[in-house]
Structure 1
């Protein structure tokens, strides 16, 4: 195998993707599987997980499911204990689980605020902590890929809790790098722009919003799930061995222009 192929090859690695049974998480999981990794899909809906796992298996990928609530510390700890019992080591963690809540701040309840922060930010800390503990103990390093957003740097009206959480993801990622780089753990983040998924289809169907996205983005289009595949493979592979604490925006150039 050539050096370049070796750098991006994930054969023999195991990747856990939170929120991996649908949407962008599922597409990133597929990319990692195509690069050779064994896949652990996380989610809370057993039926959705089973359907996704069946698709992966039918495509010839090695896959298992691990249902647990990423917001609940006891659930996260128990999930990793289950992996320990089965002698399964996580080499790559993609902290993808997340939700959105659109509402003006003056109408926002503290409960809705907390739910978004718990799902989008605290979960990355909890799952990242448990994964890193084991990576450090094994002494073989590892990869953590957190999913940020354009709102890791920029704000938009009506999505304050999401913006706060994704801003937190950016600095949580840097904190992970600061503490764990010496153990050969690389922690980086991806900041997707406006991606066309099932969750955003209603926005794309709105002519005004669709026009704003295309007009605001130099690429003049929405991002597609496939646009994240190369990035997640890069940040999960040996090709990014000296990249740490960074957030890579995959946004068609939106964050680069006024």
Structure 2
């Protein structure tokens, strides 16, 4: 198994993306330390992983709280001996942030995703690197959707926040790869399986005055393969990039958009 004997922490583990990736890590042999702010959601995913035979521990951790993150990682390392992969999959509710023209978007609502994403990803990466650098190995991972790169309307400050994450990904690698700590960002299209995209497309479609299904079909048609990224595809990529098979890959954004973005 690709991640056998690896210890992985997942932030936002109770969400659709974090939960799917955590399950994939566990299936690949990793011990998963699942975290999130909602204990019910985190525990539900943890029970599913355990029922499938995976190794998992769950904890309530706010990824933007440096003390909470640091204390949790200290406990993980004390128990498991190391932290090999840190995957941050936190999300923000789109209500009040997306589907609103810039001329009508309050400044605070524009800035919220910019500051939230940058802060949380810096906090979790910094805490993990402090344990990874002395051992000379580790992987920092994050996920962004295509507005991090493409100019798309009605996403508010989300696109700026996601672009900041990709810039942070490159900056982390520039400092830490020399010590064996890789940094990888996985960029996908919107994933219609996730509840948040159902809400987002609904908000945007209402503003545009078109059916939600029409908006979904239009985005899928923009890709080369005429379909959007799936959670399974994201999970498979996450497992590979977290593994030693990807040892030469760092400071990059893995393009999982199916041709919606062409590098």
TM-score (norm 2): 0.88
Moved more, 121-130 or 143-152: 143-152
Runs of 5+ in structure 2 lacking a partner?
Answer: 203-210
Aligned to 1:149: 145
Following the alignment from structure 1 to structure 2, what is the Cα–Cα distance between the partners of residues 134 and 16? 12
Q: Secondary structure at the match of 2:120?
A: helix
Partners of 2:24 and 2:112 in 1: how far apart? 29
1:243 Cα offset (Å)? 0.8
Q: After alignment, is 23-32 or 80-89 more displaced?
A: 80-89
Q: How does 1:192-231 map to 2 (within 5 A)?
A: 192-196=188-192, 197-202=194-199, 203=201, 206-231=212-237
Change (3 A) 1:118 1:84: farther
Partner of 1:171: 167
Matches within 5 A, 1:34-183: 34-86=27-79, 88-99=81-92, 100=94, 101-102=97-98, 103-137=100-134, 139-183=135-179
Per-residue deviation, 1:150: 1.2
Number of residue pairs the alignment of both structures matches: 249
CA–CA distance in 2 between the matches of 1:67 and 1:143?
A: 22
Q: Is the 8 A contact 1:98 1:119 kept in 2?
A: no
- TM-score using structure 1 length: 0.89
Structure 2 distance, partners of 1:88, 1:47, is: 27
Runs of 4+ in structure 1 off by over 3 angstroms are 84-88
- Deviation track 1:43-75 (CA, whole Å, cap 9, x = no partner) reads 111111111111111111000112111122333
Distance in 1 (alpha carbons) for counterparts of 2:56 and 2:86: 15
Q: Report how far residue 106 of structure 1 moved.
A: 2.4
**Is 1:20 paired with 2:17?**
no
- The whole-number CA distance in structure 2 between the counterparts of 1:246 and 1:224 is 21
Structure 2 CA distance, aligned partners of 1:224 and 1:114? 29
